[in-house]
């Protein structure tokens, strides 16, 4: 085996090497445990780095410095934050429902971690190569809604409950376009297995890759998927559930200490897993972006793409203002849903139109026309103009 392919498979080889110390009947078990430990160690590590990057990035966008006191350039800030949240008093409200209040962050983090099980991080690097991997991810994602409700309801706090209701309504509404935009990929690949979806995008034309994002339906699907993913993870501009000006902090208002840190962790891990799926579905997974860059290890590409996605999410958070509740719902049901349904039809047409420039033109034209028309129709009923304040002036 050459040095490059050894580097590509370094984690797989490491897993086999460690498992080799155990008796044969124990080896599958040890291998699985090692893979789980890898995932459970790697992604929270990225979470720690992301919190610093996000605060520094947002600081730059908002013309300030961001954290810069702990360690060089403030990069040890997450260590200080971690120690703080571990030593803080864990306050449970007197009237709160103790058991449910305790279980909510646990359920959230467990469900979010389960989502990583079917994520192909590199060549041969997937914990569970399931026949219905994509379905597994969405099924697990659906159970995070319940943990949000549990947190909001058990706190016995009107702000928590309002935040939870907003969050659940938003997550259910945006789950429909999220699933439908991913369905396009399943239609084209003919498989629900995440490994097969990545393999289907493995080829190159010249030096350009066969990623799904470089087709009209793939591009539309990617944009719709990212918007729905932002809403699913309650990130700006869809962060109404924790609108601090109205609801204190939404459903985790009554959480402190490490339970709060768990919610924080769960939210960011959810963002990583859904960004990882956007990469898997549309951006070629662990594939290299150009044919001549194939020597870089596959997991390197995955994590580079993940960093790019995180940078995009931070940039969007620093740029876009928060939506209002009615705008949020209108956008989901009147724009996202028709566009995803149309994208399904376009993808079907693409499949049966055969090779050639014609299908590129027709599919792009249909999607672009629908985008412009839907936008116009939606804008017509919006009274866009200078904002008028009832009390503030």
Partner 1 sequence: MIPTVFGLTLPFLIIAALTIAGAVAAALLRNLVHCALSLTITFAGLALLYLNLEAQFAGFVQMLVYIGAVAILVVFAILLTRGAGMPEYRSYSSNWLLGLILAAATFAVLTWAVTRSLPATAASAAPAVTVQGIGVSLMTTYVMPLEIVAILLTVALIGAVIVAMPESKKEGQQ
Of 61 and 169, CB closest to partner 1: 169
Q: Is 232 a residue that touches partner 1 (CB under 8 A)? A: no
Of 130 and 296, CB closest to partner 1: 130
Residue 88's contacts (CB-CB under 8 Å, 6 or more residues apart) are 256, 257, 258
What is the nearest approach in angstroms of partner 1 to the Cβ of residue 194? 13
What is the nearest approach in angstroms of partner 1 to the Cβ of residue 128? 11
Of 116 and 286, CB closest to partner 1: 116
What is the nearest approach in angstroms of partner 1 to the Cβ of residue 98? 12
Q: How many other C-beta atoms are found inside a 10 Å radius of the C-beta of residue 241?
A: 23
Please, how many CA atoms are within 13 Å of residue 2, restricted to the half-sphere of its CB? Answer: 5
What is the nearest approach in angstroms of partner 1 to the Cβ of residue 149? 6
Q: Is 345 a residue that touches partner 1 (CB under 8 A)? A: no
Candidates 109, 125, 126, 150; binder of partner 1 (CB under 8 A) is 150
Centroid of chain to Cα 137: 11
CA dihedral 273, 279, 284, 288 (to 10 degrees): -90
Q: What does the per-residue mask of binding to partner 1 show for 29-48, with x meaning CB under 8 A?
A: --------------------
Q: Helix (H, G, I), strand (E, B), or coil: what is residue 113?
A: helix
The kind and range of the H/E element at 156 are: none
* Residues between 121 and 140 that touch partner 1 (CB under 8 A): 130-132, 135-136, 138-140
Of 205 and 382, CB closest to partner 1: 382
Residue spans of beta strands (DSSP E) within 165-298: 204-205, 208-209
Token pair belonging to 13:
């080889």
User: How many residues line the site for partner 1 (CB under 8 A)?
Assistant: 27
What is the nearest approach in angstroms of partner 1 to the Cβ of residue 210? 22
Angle at 189 between CA 132 and CA 338, to 5 degrees: 90
Q: What does the per-residue mask of binding to partner 1 show for 191-230, with x meaning CB under 8 A?
A: xx--------------------------------------
Taking CB under 8 A as the binding criterion, the range among 4-12, 79-87, 145-153, 345-353 that sits at the site for partner 1 is: 145-153
Of 30 and 130, CB closest to partner 1: 130
* Residues between 60 and 99 that touch partner 1 (CB under 8 A): 97
Could you identify the residue written with the tokens 């409200």?
93
What is the nearest approach in angstroms of partner 1 to the Cβ of residue 2? 36
What is the distance between the alpha carbons of residues 151 and 104, in angstroms, rounded to a whole number?
Answer: 5
Q: Is 274 a residue that touches partner 1 (CB under 8 A)? A: no
Give the residue from 249, 383, 285, 284 showing the smallest Cα distance to 327: 383
Q: How far, in Å, are 221, 303, 335, 371, 373 from residue 377 at the CA level?
A: 21, 40, 10, 10, 6
Q: Is 153 a residue that touches partner 1 (CB under 8 A)? A: yes
What is the nearest approach in angstroms of partner 1 to the Cβ of residue 104? 10
Largest CA distance in the chain: 76
Q: How far, in Å, are 93, 106, 251, 291 from residue 165 at the CA level?
A: 20, 19, 9, 48
What is the distance between the alpha carbons of residues 163 and 159, in angstroms, rounded to a whole number?
Answer: 6
Q: Is 313 a residue that touches partner 1 (CB under 8 A)? A: no
The angle, 0 to 180 degrees and rounded to 10, between the axes of the packed helices 357-380 and 337-352 is 170
What is the nearest approach in angstroms of partner 1 to the Cβ of residue 145? 6
Q: Is 174 a residue that touches partner 1 (CB under 8 A)? A: no
Count Cβ neighbours within 10 Å for each residue of 113-130 and write b for 16 or more, e otherwise. Answer: bbbbbbbbbbbebbbeeb
Q: Is 175 a residue that touches partner 1 (CB under 8 A)? A: yes
Give the residue from 121, 43, 146, 112 showing the smallest Cα distance to 267: 112
What is the nearest approach in angstroms of partner 1 to the Cβ of residue 176? 11
What is the distance between the alpha carbons of residues 117 and 29, in angstroms, rounded to a whole number?
Answer: 15
Of 98 and 375, CB closest to partner 1: 98
What is the nearest approach in angstroms of partner 1 to the Cβ of residue 271? 19
Of 146 and 312, CB closest to partner 1: 146
Q: Is 146 a residue that touches partner 1 (CB under 8 A)? A: yes
- List contacts with partner 1 (CB under 8 A): 97, 100, 130-132, 135-136, 138-143, 145-146, 149-150, 153, 156, 161, 165, 168, 172, 175, 190-192
């Amino acid at each position: 085996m050459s040095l490059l392919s050894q580097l590509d498979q370094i984690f797989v080889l490491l897993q086999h090497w460690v498992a080799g110390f155990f008796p044969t009947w124990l080896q599958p078990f040890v291998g699985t445990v090692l893979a789980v430990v890898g995932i459970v160690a790697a992604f929270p590590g990225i979470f720690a780095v992301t919190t610093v990057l996000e605060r520094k990035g947002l600081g730059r966008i908002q013309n300030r410095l961001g954290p810069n006191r702990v360690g060089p350039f403030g990069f040890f800030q997450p260590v200080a934050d971690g120690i703080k949240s571990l030593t803080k008093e864990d306050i449970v409200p007197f009237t709160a429902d103790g058991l449910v209040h305790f279980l909510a962050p646990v359920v959230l983090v467990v469900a979010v971690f389960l989502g990583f099980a079917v994520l192909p991080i590199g060549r041969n690097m997937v914990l569970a190569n399931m026949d219905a991997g994509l379905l597994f991810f969405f099924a697990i994602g659906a159970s995070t809604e319940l943990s949000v409700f549990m947190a909001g309801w058990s706190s016995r706090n009107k702000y928590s409950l309002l935040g939870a209701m907003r969050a659940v309504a938003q997550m259910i509404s945006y789950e429909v376009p999220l699933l439908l935009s991913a369905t396009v990929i399943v239609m084209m690949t003919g498989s629900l297995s995440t490994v097969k979806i990545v393999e289907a995008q493995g080829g190159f034309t010249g030096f350009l890759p066969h990623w799904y994002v470089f087709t009209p339906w793939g591009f539309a699907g990617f944009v719709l998927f990212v918007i729905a993913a932002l809403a699913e993870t309650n990130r700006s501009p869809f962060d109404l559930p924790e609108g601090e000006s109205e609801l204190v902090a939404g459903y985790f208002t009554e959480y402190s200490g490490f339970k709060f840190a768990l919610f924080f962790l769960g939210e960011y891990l959810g963002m990583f897993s859904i960004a990882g799926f956007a990469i898997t579905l549309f951006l070629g997974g662990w594939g290299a972006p150009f044919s001549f860059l194939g020597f870089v290890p596959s997991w390197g590409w995955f994590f580079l793409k993940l960093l790019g996605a995180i940078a995009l999410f931070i940039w969007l958070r620093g740029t876009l203002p928060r939506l209002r509740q009615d705008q949020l719902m209108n956008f989901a049901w009147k724009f996202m849903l028709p566009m995803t349904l149309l994208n399904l039809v376009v993808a079907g047409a693409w499949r049966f139109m055969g090779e050639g420039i014609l299908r590129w033109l027709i599919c792009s034209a249909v999607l672009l026309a629908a985008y412009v028309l839907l936008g116009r129709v939606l804008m017509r009923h919006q009274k866009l103009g200078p904002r008028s304040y009832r009390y503030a002036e």
